[in-house]
Structure 1
Amino acid sequence: MAGVVRLQGLQRLRNALTGVTSRRSINSSSKKCEAKGQTQSAEPPKENWVSYGFDSKNKTIDRNVMKQTFFVTVTVCLVFGGFGWSYLPDPLLKDWAQREAYLLIRYREENGLPLIDRNLIDPAKIKLPSDEELGDTEIII
Structure 2
Amino acid sequence: MAGVFRIQSAFLRRLLPQINKRLISTSKKNADSAVAEVTETVTKTKAKKNWISYGFDKKSEEADLNALHSVMFAAVTVCLIFGGFIMSYAPDYSLHDWAQREAFLELRRREDAGLPLISKDLIDPSKIVLPSDEELGDTEIII
Aligned AA for 1:120?
Answer: L
Cα distance in 2 for residues equivalent to 1:45 and 1:134: 92
Q: Is the 8 A contact 1:108 1:114 kept in 2?
A: yes
Are residues 139 and 63 of structure 1, via their aligned partners in 2, closer, same or farther at CA, if it must alter by over 3 Å?
closer
Pick which of 49-58 and 97-106 moved more.
49-58
Structure of larger gyration radius? 2
Are residues 68 and 124 of structure 1, via their aligned partners in 2, closer, same or farther at CA, if it must alter by over 3 Å?
same
Instruction: Report the identity percentage.
Output: 48
Report what 1:47 is aligned to: 48
Pick aligned residue for 1:101 from 103, 118, 121: 103
The 5 A counterparts of 1:111-126 are: 111-126=113-128
Structure 1 unaligned regions, length at least 5: 1-35
Alignment TM-score, normalising by the size of structure 1: 0.58
Q: Is the 8 A contact 2:53 2:61 kept in 1?
A: no
Q: How many residues align?
A: 104
The 5 A counterparts of 1:1-141 are: 36=40, 44-48=45-49, 50-51=51-52, 53=54, 54-131=56-133, 133-134=134-135, 136-138=137-139, 140=141, 141=143
Q: Once the 2 structures are TM-superposed, how far is the Cα of residue 116 of structure 1 from its aligned partner?
A: 0.7
Q: Is the 8 A contact 2:53 2:64 kept in 1?
A: yes
Cα distance in 2 for residues equivalent to 1:81 and 1:108: 41
Aligned AA for 1:115?
Answer: L
Aligned AA for 1:84?
Answer: I
Cα distance in 1 for residues equivalent to 2:116 and 2:59: 78
1 or 2, which has the higher strand percentage? 2
Cα distance in 1 for residues equivalent to 2:123 and 2:68: 65
State the superposition RMSD in angstroms.
Answer: 3.1
Aligned AA for 2:123?
Answer: I
Q: Which has the higher contact order (CA 8 A, sep 6+)?
A: 1
Aligned residue for 2:74, secondary structure, equals helix
Cα distance in 1 for residues equivalent to 2:136 and 2:71: 73
